[in-house]
Amino acid sequence: MNKQIKFYKYQGTGNDFVMIDNRDLEFPKSTELIEKLCDRRFGIGGDGLILLENDDSPTLKGDNLTPTLKGNDFTPTVRGDHKADFKMVYYNSDGNESTMCGNGGRCIVAFAHFLDIFEDQTTFDAIDGLHKAEIKNGIVKLKMIDVTDINNDGEDFVMNTGSPHYVKYVEMLNNYNVFKNGNEIRNSPTYKAEGINVNFVEALSDKEIFVRTYERGVEDETYSCGTGVTASALTFMDKNNQTSVAVKVLGGKLKVYAEKNGAGFNDIWLKGPASQVFSGTISI
């Protein structure tokens, strides 16, 4: 007999996700099943699938709720005197568990708020550590991990904002072949093994950029990528000595705030809309 599961569909600037309340841990974490649920013709459809679970990490003491990252090594998170309100488990549409998803993080905050897990501010656990967030009138502000350095690859930039990102500045981004060029960089000898997300950026003014992203795991362009928007914004803020920048994506607009700290940035926040599109049940 097939099992019926309740699901919710959320989107953040067009980056869409299948959302499941898995606090009872009954969802079978099958790669094949997750890939099918994300399929836009044979499943629900989404750029990824996110499970909301109870946080099972030990409570630690301290005030810092932001893990830091240099290269691919995370510094252990120091928690406040409480457990996180919930845990985020993220899967790409290929069915594989993946690294942090910024728009997915904003969407799960909206989902947790819908489930009455918190009122207006929360702390949740993700693969890259703890994240603070707040929601007001459908706008979610999410604290991202600190970035200790921005590396160069020729004239382009590479960094990890919870997921690895390549940032390239181009002109006439509206007409740029993001799929072709993104796929080539993602599958180049340097990045093919681990994979990398590829962001193409056009400066629209001294206060706004336009970003289009080819995402690994999805292996296509998405309407928006939160960690990619963050990486792109940090390169722009670094070059222009700014603490915030507006970001246009295919699915809408976001804003990134950050404070310069040596060669990197801390106090990084990603802000934008996140909403429930529909809900239903599906047989698995």
pLDDT at position 76, please? 35
- Asked if 250 and 120 sit in the same domain, the reply is no
State which residues form the domain around 211: 146-271
pLDDT at position 56, please? 84
pLDDT along the chain (284 residues), means of 10: 92 98 97 98 98 80 41 40 86 96 98 98 97 98 97 98 98 98 98 97 98 97 98 98 98 98 97 99 95
pLDDT at position 1, please? 58
Given 144, 225, 247, 274, which residue is catalytic? 225
pLDDT at position 71, please? 39
- Asked if 31 and 86 sit in the same domain, the reply is yes
pLDDT at position 219, please? 97
**pTM: predicted TM-score of the whole model, two decimal places:** 0.91
- Asked if 134 and 151 sit in the same domain, the reply is no
Active-site annotation holds for 107: no
- Asked if 122 and 162 sit in the same domain, the reply is no
pLDDT at position 145, please? 96
- Asked if 171 and 84 sit in the same domain, the reply is no
- Residue 67's CATH number: 3.10.310.10
- Asked if 9 and 139 sit in the same domain, the reply is yes
> In angstroms, rounded to a whole number, what is the distance separating the alpha carbons of residues 47 and 217?
9
- Asked if 224 and 263 sit in the same domain, the reply is yes
pLDDT at position 2, please? 84
- Asked if 169 and 139 sit in the same domain, the reply is no
- The two beta strands, 220-222 and 208-215, are antiparallel
Question: What total of structural domains would you count in the chain?
Answer: 2
Given 5, 51, 101, 201, which residue is catalytic? 101
- Asked if 122 and 92 sit in the same domain, the reply is yes
> In angstroms, rounded to a whole number, what is the distance separating the alpha carbons of residues 3 and 142?
34
- Asked if 25 and 131 sit in the same domain, the reply is yes
- Asked if 82 and 96 sit in the same domain, the reply is yes
Active-site annotation holds for 225: yes
- Asked if 115 and 220 sit in the same domain, the reply is no
> In angstroms, rounded to a whole number, what is the distance separating the alpha carbons of residues 133 and 131?
6
pLDDT at position 105, please? 98
